[in-house]
Each structure stands twice: as structure tokens, then as C-alpha cells.
Amino acid sequence: MASDKELSDFLKSVEKRAFKRTAYAVRDDDAALDIVQDAMIRLAEKYFERPAAELPLIFQRILSNATMDWFRRQKVRNAVVRNFSYFESVDTDGDFDLLETLEAVEGSTASESASDTVSRAQILVMIDAQVAELPARQREAFLLRYWEELDVAETAAAMGCSEGSVKTHCSRAVHALAKALKAKGIAP
């Protein structure tokens, strides 16, 4: 059973990422804060007896469900479906080379870097915006897998899809981000 301190530490460690992830989805900070609070309370009320190690995955599932509930309540499910349909679109990044981008990023000198012309804060804002622009499922997979550091199986469980779908979502998200950031001359 997770102690009060373990629960508190867990929530503290995850709250900002949870808020950002939700804000990306609902595009409304107040709504995102309400959803995160709702998810935290659901976790605390119903899963307080679970061991601390199980909390991350349970919380991500609750947060995803709470976000979906919000969409249902807002009756904008059509908009979500439209976002989700981006996932089904044909990948047109066949000629895009991630290695090329990474090499450019890692081998870039100060003179080649976009940080010469754009301040670091602006770069962060632009990266943030690009992540927000990703199709919903790709963004969710990308953030759960790499930001929340869930493994492929856990991400699939949290998203309610297959592990293969998670890999596809992640791959497409990374390629879309790399392509968009490269086009803007931004090195993450």
C-alpha cells in the first residue's frame, strides 16, 4: 500500500507533466487543471491501497479516461475523432532522414544553431507548440513513452491499443517533430 508520503511524492513528480499533457489535448489550461485534479482525486480515492510502483500506470490511465470524459461532456467528440483520424493518414515522410537531422543537431556548432537567432525560451515555446500540433494519438504515445518513461507494453495498456500501434504512433510522432523542427531551423 502506498503511504501518504509516497502518494504525495508521486503526485508532485507527475503533476506538471500531467497538466501539460492534458493541456495539449484539451487546449484549455483551466479545463486541464480541473481534469488533472479530478484524476488525482480518483487515484487517491480508489487506488490508495495499491503499491507505489503501480501508481504511474494507473494514473496515466485515469488521466486519459478523465480527458476523454471531458471531451464527452463538452460534446466535441467529433473534433477528437477528426484529430484521431490524422493517425490513419498516409505517411508522406518516406524521404525524410531522421539520422540526418540528429547528426545536424548533435554536430551543430554555435554558428549553425538556431539558438543564435532565436532565444532559448522561444525555442522551448516552439518545440512546445510543435508537440501540441501532433495528432492526438501520436502525441499521447510519444509523451507516455518518452516523457512519462512507460515501456511499450505499459503505453499500449494506458492507451488501450496494441504494442505495434504504440511503436507506429511514436515513430510517426518523432518523424513529424524532427521534420517540423528542422524546417524551422530548431535543434531540440
Partner 1 sequence: MNHSIPYRRPAEPEALQARFALRVVARLDERAAQLGPDVAERLRFARERALEKAREARSLVRPAIEPLAVGGSTLAWGGLGDSSSLWVKIGSVLPLVALVGGLMLIQHWHTRAQIDAAAEIDAALLSDNLPPSAYGDPGFAEFLNTPRD
Q: Which is nearer to partner 1, 48 or 160 (CB)?
A: 48
Site string for partner 1, 96-135 (x = CB under 8 A): --xx-xx--x---------------x-xxx-xx--x----
- Report the nearest approach of partner 1 to the CB of residue 78 (Å): 28
CA distance 132 to 150: 20
Q: Which is nearer to partner 1, 79 or 125 (CB)?
A: 125
Q: Which is nearer to partner 1, 1 or 90 (CB)?
A: 1
Contact 142, 174 (CB under 8 A): yes
Site string for partner 1, 10-49 (x = CB under 8 A): -xx--xxx-xx--------x---x--xx--xx-xxxx-xx
CA distance 103 to 152: 26
Q: Which is nearer to partner 1, 75 or 183 (CB)?
A: 183
Choose the binding region for partner 1 from 9-17, 85-93, 111-119, 157-165 (rule: CB under 8 A).
9-17
What is the SS3 string spanning 115-142? HHCCCHHHHHHHHHHHHHHCCHHHHHHH
CA distance 83 to 69: 16
Per-residue burial over 50-73, b if 16 or more Cβ lie within 10 Å, else e, is eeeeebbbbbbbbbbbbbeebbee
Contact 49, 4 (CB under 8 A): no
> Does residue number 84 form part of the binding site for partner 1 (CB under 8 A)?
no
Structure-block grid coordinates of residue 21 = 499533457
Site residues, partner 1 (CB under 8 A): 1, 4, 7-8, 11-12, 15-17, 19-20, 29, 33, 36-37, 40-41, 43-46, 48-49, 98-99, 101-102, 105, 121, 123-125, 127-128, 131, 142-143, 145-147, 170-171, 173-174, 177-178, 188
